[in-house]
Structure 1
Amino acid sequence: MKRTSLLALLFLAFTSHAGLSLAATSSEYQEINSLFKQGQYDNALTRANAYIAKNPQDAQTRFLKGLILTEQNKSAEAIKVFTGLTEDFPELPEPYNNLAVLYAAQGQYDKAKNALEMAIRTHPSYATAHENLGDIYAKMASQAYDKALQLDNKNATAQTKLALIKELFSNRNTSVASASKSTATPVVAAPVAAAPVSKPTDTKPNVAAADNTDISDAVQAWATAWTNQNVKAYLASYAPKFKTPNGESRSAWENSRRERITAPKKIVVSLSDINVTNVTGDLAAVSFKQTYQSDRLKSNTHKIMALAKVNGKWLITEERSR
């Protein structure tokens, strides 16, 4: 596929977050995507526009439209599409990443940096965004070293650092040129409401069946409250000292969760392979597979939670998805 020089440096996320997808991929979407992969961009765009007109909340087709516009070098229109996705589906990291690609191609590195930071804030384990953010920092450093050399062309340190960055980008362009030939189906990730936690140091299952049952029941009750869109019961599952994902205030985090829980018409959250580990006194860790489905999205993720016993109840102190 044709790429501009910076799109070769910061390639679009055609695939990401294995196992995550939108609830239902229609046959029409598949046909549009097939046209896209065949390079029939005009036909693909026409059909995408017609489908989106009837299904404005179909995030995946809108995302595909952004990719089509990007391939047509219609950057302003593509930016508009991806920006709309970040506004309507702020929990999706890919639109932020693709915005960053487009901004970087225009030399708007501050905007690219901000978009990537939002992608990472939305999904801390999004490796592509982390790598792209590193590239943005490197490009900004390159500009700074260039400026330093303009002011002092005998600055040997700046010359060396600039040469290293140029060599890095030269190698990266070669490897990405091959990677960009991939025609994998673009995937839009589902919402992730999680924060990083320290990995348990002892992963051996505790054999105290009664304690483990209490912990499993607490996690199941959390999932049930989410399914029932019972915000009060859901928030009550979190400890007073719960570490919010981005360090925001507890009230700000609760307001955000309340909005996301009540917005869908229907939510179903089911858990499987629940494994209670590292039970030490009033502390425990739990890992499980989580299936989330609403009228908008569907996701399958692996989640790890840290819990503490507070006033006789097991409450969530940290959580993360991977």
Structure 2
Amino acid sequence: MSLSRRIACTLSPILNRLGYPLSIVVCFMLAALALPARADELQDASRLLKQGQQAEALEKTDQYLSGHPKDAQGRFLKGLILTEMHRNPEAIAVFTKLTEDYPQLPEPYNNLAVIYAQQKQYDKARQALETAIRTNPSYATARENLGDIYARMASQAYDKALQIDSSNTSAQTKLALIRELMSTPTRPGQPVVKTPGIAVAVATPPAKPVRSAPIATKPASPKPTETKPAAAKPAAAPTAEAKPAPDAKVDRVLAAWAQAWSRKNVKAYLAFYARDFKTPRGMSRAAWEKERAMRINKPGQIQVGIEHLRITTDGAGRAVAKFRQHYRSASFKTSSNKVIVLAKHEGKWLIQQERVGK
């Protein structure tokens, strides 16, 4: 491999703990760039950064850059250090200057997008990622990040739609699905924020098709066989057209219900309950709604999570959902088993009964 095509890995993944929503690149290709002669200084700075000594790593990198002000690898490392130190304006300046001096490198654009996304400047993040992809169409990390940006922009749009009409159950369901998608790691135990190195795509010639030689076989001599008329088979009964299982719809409804509760949107939350909902302790519907509104509107955030969801349906517009509910507010935290009975009303699944326990 020639010097100009080496991979310059500035440091191993260390930014998981930052909570960035996208994949930030910590390793990038110096295409057509010569590596600095005094790479040991940068390796020392990388080691300090991995050990959590950001200030010392920055000082070491600045010392190196004082003698090599144009070095792309050192500048890229400085941008990473500033990012971890949450000095985002300075990190943006470093990565922006890199895109101006080395427009052929997609990685600085990607890391700019990560910072913009963390600041919720999704349009700027989208533009940076699209530039990275134009620079290198096979850049998978940028494409994955762009998908995340589109999901977050959609989430904002659905949020605004719900501000206009909080009873829009379609928007609630879609918003819940997007948030579930964004919060689910790719593999169990894998952090949501990934910091992979950049894999170089090596073009390989297509493999030649393997032609199998025909096998010579002697034709079997035909033997006269007595043919019997086939017994008539009864006509197969027509199969009923398969309909989508309602379990998935119930799953989405419960996810949207939990999201409305977590967002403290009382109107949307109460809209998930049927008119014939069995209120606890024999309360009137009005008294129960007033009590729920008072509890939900207490100061502080609410987090509601659903785990180990099991759904059974009877095919007659009735479903039973059993799950583990996790609830957290400013003053209370609990996890409990819950059973919810839903019934279909005018094509919508609504909650008919709700109880704690198995």
State the TM-score, normalized to the length of structure 1.
Answer: 0.53
* 1:144 alignment partner in structure 2: 157
* 1:95 alignment partner in structure 2: 108
The CA deviation at 1:31 is 1.2
> Is 1:38–2:57 an aligned residue pair?
no
| 1:119–1:129 contact (8 Å) kept in structure 2 | yes
| 2:22–2:194 contact (8 Å) kept in structure 1 | no
* 1:24 alignment partner in structure 2: 35
The CA deviation at 1:2 is 6.0
Q: 1:50-129 maps to which residues of 2 (within 5 A)? A: 50-129=63-142
1:24 and 1:88 mapped to 2: Cα distance? 16
2:32 and 2:191 mapped to 1: Cα distance? 26
Q: What SS does the corresponding residue of 1:91 show, helix, strand or coil? A: coil
> Is 1:156–2:169 an aligned residue pair?
yes
1:23 and 1:187 mapped to 2: Cα distance? 18
Q: Which gives a bigger RCO, structure 1 or 2 (Cα 8 Å, sep 6+)?
A: 1
2:154 and 2:91 mapped to 1: Cα distance? 27
1:155 and 1:149 mapped to 2: Cα distance? 6
* Rg larger for: 2
Decide whether aligned partners of structure 1 residues 175 and 97 sit closer, same or farther in structure 2, where only a CA change above 3 A counts: farther
Q: 1:186-265 maps to which residues of 2 (within 5 A)? A: 204=208
- Aligned letter for 1:12? I
Decide whether aligned partners of structure 1 residues 27 and 82 sit closer, same or farther in structure 2, where only a CA change above 3 A counts: same
| 2:22–2:114 contact (8 Å) kept in structure 1 | yes
From 172, 178, 192, the equivalent of 1:165 is 178
The CA deviation at 1:154 is 2.1
Q: What do residues 274-308 of structure 1 show as CA deviations (whole Å, max 9, x unaligned)?
A: xxxxxxxxxxxxxxxxxxxxxxxxxxxxxxxxxxx
The CA deviation at 1:51 is 1.1
2:86 and 2:143 mapped to 1: Cα distance? 25
| 2:129–2:145 contact (8 Å) kept in structure 1 | yes
Q: What SS does the corresponding residue of 1:154 show, helix, strand or coil? A: coil
2:177 and 2:32 mapped to 1: Cα distance? 39
- Aligned letter for 2:113? A
* Identity rate, percent: 55
Decide whether aligned partners of structure 1 residues 175 and 61 sit closer, same or farther in structure 2, where only a CA change above 3 A counts: farther
Decide whether aligned partners of structure 1 residues 41 and 104 sit closer, same or farther in structure 2, where only a CA change above 3 A counts: same
The CA deviation at 1:50 is 1.6
| 1:60–1:187 contact (8 Å) kept in structure 2 | no
> Which structure is higher in helix share?
1
RMSD: 3.3
Structure 2 stretches of 5 or more lacking a match? 1-14, 210-358
Q: What SS does the corresponding residue of 2:185 show, helix, strand or coil? A: helix
Decide whether aligned partners of structure 1 residues 140 and 34 sit closer, same or farther in structure 2, where only a CA change above 3 A counts: same
Q: What do residues 97-131 of structure 1 show as CA deviations (whole Å, max 9, x unaligned)?
A: 00000001111111000000011011111111000
2:185 and 2:140 mapped to 1: Cα distance? 16
State the TM-score, normalized to the length of structure 2.
Answer: 0.48
- Aligned letter for 1:24? L
1:148 and 1:32 mapped to 2: Cα distance? 48
**Could you list the runs of 4 or more consecutive aligned residues of structure 1 that deviate by over 2 angstroms after TM superposition?**
1-5, 19-25, 172-182, 186-189, 202-205
The CA deviation at 1:52 is 1.1
1:16 and 1:176 mapped to 2: Cα distance? 26
Deviates more, 1:51-60 or 1:75-84: 51-60
2:56 and 2:163 mapped to 1: Cα distance? 49
> Is 1:178–2:200 an aligned residue pair?
no
Decide whether aligned partners of structure 1 residues 21 and 30 sit closer, same or farther in structure 2, where only a CA change above 3 A counts: farther
> Is 1:48–2:61 an aligned residue pair?
yes
Q: What SS does the corresponding residue of 2:23 show, helix, strand or coil? A: coil
* 1:15 alignment partner in structure 2: 27
1:176 and 1:64 mapped to 2: Cα distance? 28
1:83 and 1:137 mapped to 2: Cα distance? 22
2:101 and 2:91 mapped to 1: Cα distance? 15
Decide whether aligned partners of structure 1 residues 62 and 105 sit closer, same or farther in structure 2, where only a CA change above 3 A counts: same
Structure 1 stretches of 5 or more lacking a match? 206-322
Decide whether aligned partners of structure 1 residues 163 and 187 sit closer, same or farther in structure 2, where only a CA change above 3 A counts: closer
